[in-house]
Amino acid sequence: MATWRNLLHNRPRWLGGRGAVIGLPYLFLGAFFLLPFFIVLKISVSEMENVSFKDVLTLQDGVLQLTLKLSTYVFLTEDPLYWRTYVASLQYAAATTVLCLFIGYPFAYFMARARPTAQPALLMLVMLPFWTSFLLRVYAWRGLLTEGGWAAEAITGLGLDRLLLALGLISAPGQLMHTPFSLVLGMTYTYLPFMILPLYGNLAKMDMRLLEAAADLGATPWTAFWKITVPLSKAGIIAGSMLVFIPCVGEFVIPELLGGPETLMIGRVLWDEFFSNNDWPMASAVAVVMVLLIIVPLAIFSRYQAESQEARR
């Protein structure tokens, strides 16, 4: 009984349980998500010795010595391959995000404007591909885009491949696979649901009466769209864009299956450094720089998540 009084004065309703509820997931994330990053950081500045590392912190003659091997990073910044690949990754990710937005926004918009009875079905139809293996669907594009595949036939048949050639997206007419075109197509395809879902969630909740008010005040539908609908869906646009852009930067599977030698992305570099070259410090350094590159979008996304939690309260 006496303990109740003490605990009550600290306000929590769930008392002793509170520590476990917060602590358990926190500990899990700290141990398996946060801590590993620090280890990666440490390894990126370590010397690789056969299969193990020299310790960064050593005790020599009774004095703690900090041996940081920064040459890995130096190499990273000096070798143009890495620099170009980082830039290319950011560019591909940006292109994918823009395409997803271009295709996905009207998609989500018309979904949200459809009859309320039809919307659950429409949503389910978007979710269904999402639930089927993405690996298999990306693999399917391989079939579709190789010579003789349906999409390849359609595109060459319509003469669009010459347009793509002119844009520099493919290097030879009829050769649609292993090109920037196939890569961006594959990534856009895979990440499209990630753009549509937050946008739809946002647009579906929008108060239609705002548009009625705008019309009443003399705005044309086009004006109302740009002045009211789009600004109000900003949160959805940001969420969708971050959900597409950030993972795209480090994407590995799609470039591997649909990309080619000229579409090198940083995820592939990391993979090769680790699995092919067995150069763990290098792979770690590549990872660290990758995280640094996406730290700003990551912060934006994190803040958006926190804000949308607050808004729900």
**Alpha carbons 231 and 215: distance in angstroms, whole number:** 17
Q: In which residue are the tokens 């002793």 written?
A: 16
Nearer to another protein, 158 or 298 (CB): 298
Quote the tokens at residue 147.
């010579």
Interacting residues with another protein between 283 and 312 (CB under 8 A): 283-284, 287, 290-291, 294, 298, 301-302, 305-306, 309, 312
Distances from the Cα of 96 to the Cα of 5, 158, 166, 227, angstroms:
58, 23, 20, 26
DSSP-based helix, strand, coil % in the chain, nearest 5: 75, 5, 25
63: contact with another protein by CB under 8 A: no
Minimum gap (Å) between residue 96 Cβ and another protein: 13
Asked whether 270 and 251 are in contact (CB, 8 A), the reply is no
The residue from 246, 260, 264, 279 that contacts another protein (CB under 8 A) is 246
* Positive or negative torsion for Cα 38, 40, 41, 42: positive
Strand extents, DSSP E, the chain = 48-49, 52-53, 57-60, 63-66
Q: How far is the CB of 179 from another protein (least distance, A)?
A: 17
Stretch in the footprint of another protein (CB under 8 A) among 37-45, 61-69, 70-78, 229-237? 37-45
Among 164, 157, 156, CA closest to 182: 164
- Residues within window 172-231 making contact with another protein, judged by CB under 8 A: 189, 192-193, 220-221
The reply on whether position 249 binds another protein by CB under 8 A is yes
Nearest distance from residue 3's CB to another protein, in Å?
A: 10
- Contact stretch for another protein (CB under 8 A) within 60-68, 163-171, 230-238, 276-284: 276-284
| DSSP secondary structure letters along 26-78 | HHHHIIIIIHHHHHHHHHHTS-EETTEE--SEEEETTEEEE---THHHHHHHH
CB of 240 to another protein, least distance (A): 11
Q: Which is nearer to another protein, 170 or 280 (CB)?
A: 280
Q: Shortest approach of another protein to residue 24 CB, angstroms?
A: 5
81 binds another protein (CB under 8 A): no
Q: Which is nearer to another protein, 168 or 221 (CB)?
A: 221
Q: Which is nearer to another protein, 56 or 165 (CB)?
A: 56
In 3D space, the residue among 178, 151, 179, 152 whose CA is nearest the CA of residue 165 turns out to be: 179
Smallest gap, in angstroms, from Cβ of residue 231 to another protein? 20
In the region spanning residues 106 to 165, those forming contacts with another protein, defined by CB under 8 A, are: 106-107, 109-111, 113-114, 120-122, 124-129, 131-144, 146-151
Least separation in angstroms between residue 310's CB and another protein is 10
